[in-house]
Structure 1
Amino acid sequence: MTDLDRSARRRATAEVFWVFLRIGALSFGGPAATTGLVHSKVVLGLKWIDKRDFLDLAGIVSVLPGPNAVEMAMHIGRHRAGRAGFVAGGVAFILPGALLATILGALYVQYGTTPAAASLLYGIKPVVVAVTAWTVIRLAGSAKPRRPRRAVLMAGVAVAYVIGVDELLLLAVAGVLGLAAHLRHTGVPHKPGALTLALAAPMGQPDLPSLAGVFLKAGALLFGGGAVLLALLRGELVVDRGWITESQLLDAIAVGQVTPGPVLNTATFLGYTLGGLPGALIVTIVVVLPSFVLMAAAGPLLRLIRSYSWTRAVLDGVTLGVIGVLAGVTVEFGRTGIIDPLTAAVAAGAALILWRRPRSALVLVAAGAAFGLLRLLAHHYM
């Protein structure tokens, strides 16, 4: 590699880092909201990957354990800047939320409570509703919705999600239906040629290796998002080990909801409260370690999937399911984020701006946060 090549690669890595640092700092609302921000910035704005690749990526990370948004950042970072970009994208996305969760953990240990940060979400949530709704519309448009079977599958998944059907089950069914449709048209799967794959008491004080083991297990088994994380941590930390109480776990989950980035900020918060700064650092690393390992093979895995017509059909079904789940999540966001005429107006205004300027999602979320802060300050001083 020449010096010019190295210089270009360093610039690309730095660009990946700053782009995902900004996205990570504004990723309130969970994986669905983050998908909207990444789509707006990376697909529509920077055009680092095309819509088809983005849909495939959304499909494959949805069936892997770990935080989907972090896995997206790693894969896109590698596509843009190689191995250094892979690390830079994942680290940058995690960093803002992890730092804030550590600070909140320190405040919690010192004062026994966390600041009332949830009030900031008043301005952010309606913007997230608009961003996710717009993303669903754009992604659905890229998925050939005029074919009745595809439109029915997306709509059916959305309805099933809203009424409470498990997300992973829905994606599995969507994948099977995609394969079934393929087999109806082509018969048995084609056998390709040879292919090679390069692949209520104060918190206890557990020792750091035990703490790392618990959260490494949580990261490896984290299918299905925040609800699964809550169940895993409750079983390990409250029921089995008694390191924390139910109330303390709910406080930690709340921190994960009000900080930007992945819900795994809950783990960072608990790492600090159980093991101080070393605990926060170790827990943050081990809980995302399985994702880094799995995503290292995601590029070859995608190429493998695309090499088989029947695996391509399965992934196609899963991506349609992902769009349906995003639509269902948008409905859920609407129920909790649009609670009065003012938030309805914020959501409508954000949607109108996105219609005119589709690349403005990051700016709109920042504006929503500022609006929530101003409202909080106005109530405080009135």
Structure 2
Amino acid sequence: MIISLSKIELSITFELHHSTPLSTRLWTLAKVFLKLSTFGFGGAHATIAMMNDEAVVRRNWLTSEQFTEGLAICELLPGPASTQMGIYIGYLLGGQIGALIAGFCFVIPAFFIVVFLSWVYFEFQEVAQLEAIFLGVSPVVTSIIIAFCWKLGKQAVTNYFAKAIAVCVFFLSLFYQVSLPVQLIGCGLAGLWFYYFKNQINYWNQLPNFSLLSVCLFWQLIPIEILAFFSFFTWEKAQNISLCFRLFFLELSHPILERLLIIIPPTLLIRTTPRAMLTVSTFWGWERIEDFFCPLSWFFLKAGSLVFGGAMVIIPMLKFNLVNQFHWLTTTEFVNGIAIGHLSPGPVTLTAAFVGYKIAGFLGATIATVAVFAPSFIFIMIAAPLLLKLRNNLKVSAFIQGVSPAVVGAIAAASVSLLQVTLSKSTLFESIIAGVISLATLIALLRYKTPTWVLVPCGGIIGLLGTVINNF
């Protein structure tokens, strides 16, 4: 039985309003989420478990059913679920002000920790000891991504249609580098067709209700051979449908692009990054902030708005844009930035602060962090009354079912290139160490469920010891 959001708000707000002043509630929220941000190691699931302990077990702010309902809502939204859950709890207990306080307090301490670790990394990355530590940390992070992909795949890839989507996205991401948001939208629409409209009596008559142009984008991504092979259509029908959609798309593309050029600010269309790899900014980043303010803001707003499934799902989009397209980070820096996100408490999405620090120092880190978390605040604080209705919408559920296997394929493609860089070291001994650490991490994660916050420091210690032994 689904509890409506209005009932939850009325019951909780009524009880707390008459027993505890608002200022006391807000101060308590601030203390709790500052503590969670400072000591919340172990990733999103560990942090959510700590929130449950604080809000349900220790303080009786929410019932178990209310907490589970809120978590289901946050999992439905794009962006980091742990951050959204914190904002959601703050919203129920203190309204809009409570949501702001809970969200900021959950992010700020971990943000400063990531900025400090980023400064240490870029300031001393040539130091032999630091290189040795990241020799062990990098394979751990790569294996964490692979293990996450495996676990997510077991949940999301459950039928032949989901397998087809995952395989298509894997090859499109690995060999053709098709934009991930376009792929996710296309696969979501495919899921909408397969899981919802296909089961309706007159689903072709309902097709215009979910944007014919978006369907056209999807048909640009899926070859007709795949459609015919998986028996979605006969070969002749697949060819005819594909041809019709391609012609229709070409007819509409020019006026649509002209309108987009009017809407999008010109500064977002200018390539501000050089062909060579971007160098490290100064600490404050005043010399770059003017050139990179719009690109940083726009990119991380997209990253926080378009990626479903939590912080780890954002990795393929980050790698494709930051490493391959913009040349803001090297692949090694990208892997090490994710490692710093795992080393610090709070959400792993704070890797955005690492990226922003390299591009435009402290100011860039601040802009990237604000942009990547802004959608989470907006979704909870503005759209909260609609979320429960949205969660029970069959069309939305079908769309998410199409996106989930696409995420698996994108993460798998990113894992291949990351693993290649991780194992390609300057010496055979270092490559062997990286391979052993990577394999041991996979076993520890999948077999023994070892927390990531334990594995990352252990990898660094093994890398340091291995380097010392090799030098002898």
**Could you tell me the TM-score, scaled by structure 2's length?**
0.56
Partner of 1:97: 114
Instruction: Note closer, same or farther for the CA distance 1:372–1:210 as it changes in structure 2 (3 Å cut).
Output: closer
TM-fit CA distance, 1:123: 1.3
* Aligned 8 A contact 2:153 2:408 in 1: yes
The structure 2 residue matched to 1:150, chosen from 157, 162, 174, is 162
Matched residue count: 317
1:367: Cα distance to partner? 0.8
Structure 2 residue 173 is the aligned partner of structure 1 residue 161 = yes
What amino acid is the match of 1:38? Answer: A
CA contact (8 A) 1:154 1:321 kept: yes
2:448 is the counterpart of 1:361: no
Q: State the secondary structure of the residue aligned to 2:449.
A: coil
Give, in whole Å, the separation in 1 of the partners of 2:285 and 2:48: 44
What are the Cα deviations for residues 19-71 of structure 1, in whole angstroms up to 9, with x where unaligned? 44x35xxxxxxxxxxxxx434x34688778879667534xx23xxxxxxxxx5
| Equivalent residue number for residue 38 of structure 1 | 44
Change (3 A) 1:55 1:76: closer
Residue 296 of structure 2: aligned partner: 218
Give the superposition deviation at 1:362.
Answer: 1.8
Please tell me the residue identity of whatever aligns with 1:135. F
CA contact (8 A) 1:171 1:322 kept: yes
Q: Does 1:271 align with 2:360?
A: yes
Matched residue, 2:187: 174
Q: Secondary structure of 2:436's partner?
A: helix
CA apart distance, 1:352: 2.3
Name the CA shift for 1:53/1:353 in 2 (closer, same or farther; >3 Å). farther
The one-letter code of the counterpart of 2:147 is W
- Measure how far apart 1:304 and its partner are: 6.1
What residue number does 1:29 align with? none
Q: 2:38 and 2:133 mapped to 1: Cα distance?
A: 24
Q: What does residue range 303-342 of structure 1 map to in structure 2 within 5 Å?
A: 303=388, 305-306=390-391, 308-338=393-423, 340-342=431-433
The SS at the match of 2:289 is helix
Amino-acid identity (%): 13
**Amino acid across the alignment from 1:312:** S
Question: CA 1:98–1:72 in 2, change beyond 3 Å: closer, same or farther?
Answer: farther
> Counterpart of 1:146 in 2: which secondary structure?
coil
Match of 1:126 in 2: 139
Aligned to 1:140, the other structure's residue is in SS state helix
Are residues 1:184 and 2:198 paired?
yes
User: Hey, what does 2:62 align to over in structure 1?
Assistant: none
SS in 2 for 1:349: helix
CA contact (8 A) 1:77 1:87 kept: no
**Matched ranges for 1:236-247 at <5 A:** none
- Tell me the distance in 2 between the aligned counterparts of 1:326 and 1:346: 20
Deviations 1:170-193 (A, max 9, x none): 2122112112212111333899xx
Shift of 1:331: 2.8
The runs of 5 or more residues in structure 2 that have no matched partner are 1-16, 54-66, 92-98, 210-275, 303-316, 342-350, 425-430
Larger Rg: 2
Q: Give the TM-score of the pair, scaled to structure 1.
A: 0.67
- The 5 A counterparts of 1:42-81 are 42=47, 56-57=76-77, 60-61=78-79, 71-81=80-90
Measure how far apart 1:81 and its partner are.
Answer: 4.7
Q: 5+ unaligned residues in a row in structure 1: which ranges?
A: 24-36, 62-70, 192-199, 235-248, 273-279
Q: Return the alpha-carbon distance in structure 2 between the equivalents of residues 171 and 157 of structure 1.
A: 9
| Cα distance in 2 between the residues matched to 1:215 and 1:336 | 30
2:397 aligned counterpart, secondary structure: helix
Deviations, residues 105-148 of structure 1 (Å, cap 9, x unaligned): 5x48xxxx8445444332123322332232223223333x3332
Answer yes or no: is the 8 Å Cα contact 1:124–1:369 preserved in 2: yes
Task: Say which SS state the counterpart of residue 331 (structure 1) adopts.
Answer: helix
1:195-206 aligned at under 5 Å gives the runs none
Counterpart Cα distance in 2 of 1:271 and 1:160: 32
Between the aligned partners of 2:138 and 2:28, the Cα distance in structure 1 is 38
Checking the alignment, whether the CA contact within 8 Å between 1:74 and 1:86 is kept in structure 2 is yes
Is 1:376 aligned to residue 467 of structure 2? yes
Note the C-alpha offset of 1:269.
Answer: 3.2
Report deviation, 1:365.
1.6
- 1:233 and 1:134, CA in 2 relative to 1: closer, same or farther beyond 3 A? closer
Asked if the contact 1:12–1:81 (Cα under 8 Å) also holds between the matched residues in 2, the reply is no
Given that 1:350 and 1:364 are in contact with CA atoms closer than 8 Å, whether structure 2 keeps it comes out as yes
Partners in 1 of 2:138 and 2:116 — Cα distance? Answer: 22
SS across alignment from 2:177? coil
SS of 1:357's partner is coil
1:255–1:265 contact (8 Å) kept in structure 2: no
**Residues 216 and 286, structure 1, Cα contact 8 Å, conserved in 2:** no
- Alpha carbons of 1:130 and 1:100: their partners in 2 closer, same or farther (altered >3 Å)? closer
Query: Quick check: 2:191–2:399 contact (8 Å CA) kept in 1?
Result: yes
Task: Supply the distance in 2 between the matched residues of 1:162 and 1:254 (Cα, whole angstroms).
Answer: 18
After superposition, the Cα gap between the structure-2 partners of 1:125 and 1:304, relative to the gap in structure 1 and judged at 3 Å, is farther
SS of match in other structure, 1:160: helix
Q: Is the 8 A contact 2:174 2:414 kept in 1?
A: yes
Displacement of 1:12 after TM fit? 3.3
In structure 2, the CA distance between the partners of 1:47 and 1:271, relative to structure 1 (3 Å rule), is same
